[in-house]
Amino acid sequence: MKPPRFDYHAPRSIDDAVALLARYGGDAKVLAGGQSLMPMLNFRLARPAALVDVNRIPELAYVREDDGTVAIGAMTRQRTIEFSPLVARRLPLLLEATRWVGHLPIRSRGTIGGSIAHADPSAEYPAVLTALDGEVVAQGPRGRRTLKPGELFETYLTTRLAPDELLVEVRLPASPAGAGHAFEEFARRHGDFAIVGIAAMIVRDGARCSAARLASAGAGPVPVRLRAAEEILERDGLGDAAVAAAAARAAELVEPDADVHASAEYRRHLTGVLTARALKRAIERAR
Amino acid sequence: MSETVLVRLTVNGTPLEGRCPPRKLLVDFLRDDLALTGTHVGCEHGICGACTILLNGEAARSCLMLAVQADGVEITTIEGLMKDGVLHPLQEAFRQHHGLQCGFCTPGMLLTALDLLRVKPDPSEAEVREGLSAVLCRCTGYHGIVKAVRAAAPVLRGAQ
The predicted pLDDT at position A190 comes to: 81
Min distance B88 CA to chain A CA atoms (Å): 21
In the CATH hierarchy, which top-level class contains the domain A179-285? Answer: alpha beta
Average pLDDT along chain B: 96
- For the structural domain made of B89-159, what CATH number should be given? 1.10.150.120
Q: Measuring CA to CA, which residue among A171, A187, A191 is closest to residue A128?
A: A171
How would you write A219-238 as a 3-class SS string? Answer: CCCCCEECHHHHHHHHHHCC
Across the interface, whether the CB atoms of B115 and A53 are under 8 A apart is answered: no
> Is some CB atom of chain B closer than 8 A to the CB atom of A42?
yes
Residue A231 CA, chain-centre distance (Å), reads: 22
- The residue among A177, A180, A176, A175 whose CA lies nearest residue A283 is A180
d(CA A110, CA A123): 12
Predicted local distance difference test score (pLDDT) of residue B2: 63
CATH number for the segment(s) B5-80:
3.10.20.30
Model confidence at B159, in pLDDT bands (50, 70, 90)? confident
What percent of the residues of chain A are helix, what percent strand, and what percent coil, each to the nearest 5? 35, 25, 35
Please tell me if the domain spanning A7-54+62-175 has the same topology as the one spanning A179-285: no
**pLDDT at residue B160 in the model:** 64
Chain A residue with Cα closest to B118: A104
Contacts of B64 in chain A (CB under 8 A): 34-35, 38-39, 109
CB A71 within 8 A of CB A169: yes
DSSP A143-190: EEEEE-HHHHEEETTEES--TT-EEEEEEEEPPPTTEEEEEEEE-SST
What are the residue boundaries of the structural domains of chain B, listed by start? 5-80, 89-159
Residue B1, pLDDT score = 45
Distance CA A21, CA B56 (A): 29
CB atoms within 10 A of CB B33: 16
Q: What pLDDT, in 10s, does the model give residues A110-139?
A: 999 999 999 999 999 999 999 999 999 999
- Domain locations in chain A? 7-54+62-175, 179-285
Low-confidence residues of chain A, pLDDT below 70? Answer: none
Quick check: A107 and A98 in contact, CB under 8 A? Answer: yes
Cβ(A262)–Cβ(A195) below 8 Å: yes
Select the residue from B43, B56, B64, B116 to test the A interface by mutation, using most A Cβ atoms within 10 A: B64
- A58 CB near a chain B CB, below 8 Å? no
For the stretch B11-63, pLDDT in tens is 999 999 999 999 999 999 999 999 999 999 999 999 999 999 999 999 999 99
CB A287 within 8 A of CB A194: no
Q: Just give the CATH number of A7-54+62-175.
A: 3.30.465.10
Determine the residue among A6, A109, A115, A193 to mutate to test chain B binding: the one whose Cβ has the most chain B Cβ atoms within 10 Å: A109
